[in-house]
């Protein structure tokens, strides 16, 4: 994944646990470079190793860390150079979820080697169902956190329930999402 993703993880860990914890985790993950380059593609293993090393260091399950990273990513991306594209892609949780593919396509203009996920969204009563397609394994908890982060972005209370898992042999992870304006 692009260095931007690893930089966001670095930012999260440094803010919450301090620079020393990040250095320990980076070394534990076998990464010798002291800094990531935003626009450079790194093997996905780099990101997975960092998550694994962080989980070991904090004694916290990887899915919990991925979910927290998802929430953090939305706020991190919002204050970065592509934040405006995200906000212009929708004015509510449901709208942004429905335009994630178009949003990543616009972002791919700056990141030509982007291998983005794909989200198919349909209405289901007062909820929406989101099918998340990716060739990368294990990131469903990241998506849960991302959707929660989107809710926070729009001041909405969001509930996310995973209703299908690729582990069960289906082609995509699916989530039912309810969002309403926080009162
Ligand atoms: C300004 C906002 C955003 C930017 C700049 C951005 C950019 C990126 C980048 C660079 C990657 C790594 C993929 C690669 O390097 O090949 C990525 C992956 C991903 N993005 Fe976004 N993204 C943004 C917002 C979002 C939002 C709001 C979601 C909400 C669901 C999302 C969902 C994902 C997921 C799930 C992945 C993991 C890759 C995978 O599943 O295969 N992104 N994005």
Give me the residue spans of the domains in the chain: 3-60, 67-181
Cβ atoms of 134 and 118 within 8 Å: the answer is yes
Question: How many A from CA of 57 to the centre of ligand 1?
Answer: 25
Ligand 1 test: best mutation among 3, 76, 81, 104, most atoms within 8 Å of CB? 104
Say how far apart CA 6 and CA 127 lie, in whole Å.
Answer: 32
Ligand 1 neighbour 98 (Cβ under 6 A): no
* CATH number given to 67-181: 3.90.1520.10
Say how far apart CA 82 and CA 42 lie, in whole Å.
Answer: 20
**Residue 157 phi, psi (nearest 5):** -90, 125
Could you tell me where the beta strands, DSSP code E, fall in the chain?
118-124, 127-133, 156-164, 173-181
Ligand 1 neighbour 134 (Cβ under 6 A): yes
Residue by residue, pLDDT tens for the chain (183 residues) are 999 999 999 999 999 999 999 999 999 999 999 999 999 999 999 999 999 999 999 999 999 999 999 999 999 999 999 999 999 999 999 999 999 999 999 999 999 999 999 999 999 999 999 999 999 999 999 999 999 999 999 999 999 999 999 998 999 999 999 999 877
Residue with tokens 């329930």: 161
């Amino acid at each position: 994944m692009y260095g931007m993703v690893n930089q966001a993880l670095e930012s999260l860990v440094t803010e919450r646990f301090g620079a020393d914890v990040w250095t320990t985790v980076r070394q534990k993950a076998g990464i010798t470079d002291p800094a990531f380059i935003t626009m450079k593609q790194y093997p996905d293993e780099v990101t997975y190793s960092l998550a694994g090393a962080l989980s070991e260091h904090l004694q916290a399950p990887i899915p919990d860390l991925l979910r927290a990273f998802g929430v953090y990513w939305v706020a991190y991306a919002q204050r970065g150079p592509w934040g405006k594209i995200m906000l212009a892609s929708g004015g509510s949780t449901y709208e942004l979820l429905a335009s994630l593919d178009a949003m990543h396509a616009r972002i791919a203009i700056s990141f030509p080697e982007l291998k983005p996920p794909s989200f198919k969204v349909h209405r289901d009563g007062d909820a929406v169902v989101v099918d998340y397609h990716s060739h990368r394994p294990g990131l469903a908890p990241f998506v849960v956190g991302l959707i929660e982060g989107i809710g926070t972005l729009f001041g909405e209370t969001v509930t996310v329930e995973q209703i299908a898992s690729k582990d069960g042999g289906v082609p995509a992870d699916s989530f039912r999402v309810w969002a309403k304006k926080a009162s």
